[in-house]
Amino acid sequence: MCIRLHFNSTCRKKGEVKKGTVLILLTACILFLSCGDDGPLDTGDHVKNTDFVAEETVSFQVAVIDHIRLRLEAINGNVSIAGISGANAVDIIGEKRVGSESMSDAQEHLQWLEVIVQHSADEIYVKTIQPQETHGRSYAIDYTITLPPDLEALIENVNGVVTIAEINNLVSVMNINGLVALNEILGSAQVALVNGQIESEVTLPLDGTIGMSTVNGMIELHIPQSTSAEFSATVGNGVISLSNLDLQDQVSSSNSLSGTLGEGQGTISLNTGNGNIIVTGF
């Protein structure tokens, strides 16, 4: 298999970045506690700000032969993944950014931020490597990935927007902070999120599963009116809205709704602690 790697470096000054409190979702704890474990130990001095940002672009291409999935373990940054009809390779672009109190320090610490690409017989694996201790610096990689639409997409991230479009297979996303958007997905979909909104359009195959949960944020799900699934939705604080869908054998309460869509061949399970759940048929 062929992997090609290219570099393109630039530098700029950025504005202030607001940092929020991170809450750890119970179901995602084990996954994210490992982030950075394999990273180098940065022993540099603690910096006072991240006003200067050094950037570098890396790109990879992996030919798809017998691979069945793409798996990405990111940390900080936005992730954009799109299926391309007729594609026979996975193309990966990583926009690396390090913020520090001087441009020279930011440029020097770009070497501590890496994109690792590996592939086995059935999987293409992409991972962010960054220092275990940042000493006040900011590290981030924005990923833009295109791939054949029949590959599974398994994505792990901590902070950032995750957008996945036109995948005809399983999509799985685990994120701590940030919007998760799924567009034109034909396959099962799993999303676990702590803080942020889930926006999705999914065509569920027979016997497929949609499972989406967030601690703080709204869940929007658009599905075909012909969807066949056992449906359940639960909110802690919020409302559940179902429109343009025929939900049979409904059981409802102030914070839950369940029933059967079509023949009930698949499963749809939605849960949010604080936020509304909106499900619409198209």
> What is the per-residue pLDDT for 43?
53
Pick the range with the lowest mean pLDDT from 15-19, 46-50, 155-159: 15-19
171 and 83 Cβ atoms separated by less than 8 Å: no
* Predicted local distance difference test score (pLDDT) of residue 27: 41
Which residue has better confidence, 8 or 150? 150
Q: Are 69 and 153 in contact (CB under 8 A)?
A: yes
Q: Are 81 and 164 in contact (CB under 8 A)?
A: yes
Q: Is 270 exposed, middle or buried (0-12, 13-18, 19+ CB in 10 A)?
A: buried
Tokens linked to 180: 């998760």
Residue 36 pLDDT level (bands cut at 50, 70, 90)? very low
Distances in Å between the Cα of 8 and the Cα atoms of 93, 95, 110, 211 are 11, 9, 12, 39
Cβ-contact 207, 267 below 8 angstroms: no
pLDDT number for residue 14: 34
Residue type, 81: I
Where residue 44 falls among pLDDT bands split at 50, 70, 90? low
Is the per-residue pLDDT at 271 higher than 90?
yes
Q: Residue 8: is its pLDDT beyond 80?
A: no
- Residue 40 has a pLDDT of 53
Taking only the tens place, the pLDDT of each residue in 153-184 is 999 999 999 999 999 999 999 999 999 999 99
pLDDT band at 26 (very low <50, low <70, confident <90, very high): very low
Could you give the C-alpha distances from 269 to 46, 80, 209, 257, 266, in angstroms and in order?
45, 25, 8, 10, 10
**Mean pLDDT of all residues in the chain?**
87
| Integer-rounded Cα radius of gyration of the chain | 20
Q: Are 52 and 107 in contact (CB under 8 A)?
A: no
What local confidence, expressed as pLDDT, does residue 77 receive? 98
Mean pLDDT over 203-211 rounds to: 96
The residue ranges of every structural domain in the chain are 1-12+27-163, 179-282
Answer whether 261's CB lies under 8 Å from 203's CB: no
Q: What percent of the chain has pLDDT over 70?
A: 84
pLDDT digits (tens, 9 = 90+) for 79-133: 999 999 999 999 999 999 999 999 999 999 999 999 999 999 999 999 999 998 9
